[in-house]
Amino acid sequence: MPVHFLGLRDAATLDTAQFQLTGRIIDDLIDYSATGVIHGPAGVGKTFAVDAHLERLREDGEHRVITCSLAFPSKPTMRRVAAELFTALTGGAPPRSHSRFHLVSHLVGLLTGPRRLVCIDEAQRLNSDCIELLRHLHDHHDTRFALLYVGGDGCWEVLSREPMLRSRVFRRLPFKALPRAQVPELMRGYHPIYADADEQLLLDINDFYAHGTLRDWAAFTHTAAALCGQAGRTRLDEAVLANAYTLLGGGLDG
C-alpha cells in the first residue's frame, strides 16, 4: 500500500465507499479504454486511493496492466506534456531534435498494443491545449489505453470547460470529506490509539481539528501517537489531546 501521510506507522487503509469506488472506476476505465475523472478537495484521500489501486494492478500478474502516472507544474506546454509522457512510457528522454508533432507520432505508436492506464495527477494545472493533446492521443484510432485525470480544487471546473473532453468522460467520482457519523467507527480501525476511544472524543477531534479530512486525521494521529509513546501510554487521554492540539496550532481553524 502507499505510504500514509508523513510515514504514519500502524495506520490502516480505510475501506470507505470512495476507496472502493476508486477501484471500480479504474477497472472500468481499463476494460473499456475510457476516460475518467476523480477530483475533490486537498487531503480527502483521492491520491492515496488511486495509488493503492494502481499498486494492486501492478501486482496482478494474471491481468497485468501497464500503468504510468504523471504530474505537471502549473500551465505546462504541450511539448512538455508530450515529452514527459514519452519518458514515462519508455524510461528514456525524448530526442531533443524532435518537435512536438514528431513526439506525438511516437506516442501514438507507444500507446498501441498492451493494456495501459495513463494517470494524470493535479489535472487542474493543465491548460486547454494540453487537455486537447491528451484527448487527441486517446481518441486516435490506433491507440488503446485508459486515461484517468486526478485533481484537487478546481479540477472538474477546468476539465468540464472542454466540451470535447467532458462528453468523453465515462466515469467521474467527486471525493468528499468523511461523513461525520462514520468517523468514530472508521477511526477505531484506523490506528491502535483509537481502538477503545469514546465516540464523543473522536467526534470532538473531528469537529475541532480534522473535519473529516484524512490528511488532517493523519497529522493529528502522527502527533498524538508520538505523544503517547513519549508518555508511555497506548491510548489517548486528556493530557495527550491538549498537547496535540497545542502542537497543531490549537485547532484555530476549527
| Domain chopping of the chain, boundaries | 17-174, 180-247
- Cβ atoms of 2 and 48 within 8 Å: the answer is yes
Span 24-46, average pLDDT: 97
The whole-angstrom separation of Cα 243 and Cα 227 is: 8
Q: Which fold has domain 17-174?
A: Rossmann fold (3.40.50)
Span 124-150, average pLDDT: 96
Q: Is the per-residue pLDDT at 22 higher than 50?
A: yes
- Cβ atoms of 146 and 13 within 8 Å: the answer is no
- The percent of residues in the chain predicted with pLDDT above 90, rounded, is 81
Span 12-21, average pLDDT: 96
Q: Is the per-residue pLDDT at 250 higher than 80?
A: no
- Cβ atoms of 42 and 153 within 8 Å: the answer is yes
Our CA dihedral for 205, 211, 216, 218, rounded to 10 degrees, sits at 60
Q: What confidence score (pLDDT) does residue 12 get? A: 95
Q: Which stretches does DSSP call E strand in 72-182? A: 116-121, 146-151, 169-174
In the DSSP assignment, the letter for residue 206 is I
Model confidence, pTM = 0.92
Around Cβ 10, how many Cβ atoms within 10 Å? Answer: 11
Kindly report, residue by residue over 74-116, the tens digit of the pLDDT: 889 999 999 999 999 999 888 776 678 889 999 999 999 888 9
- The percent of residues in the chain predicted with pLDDT above 70, rounded, is 96
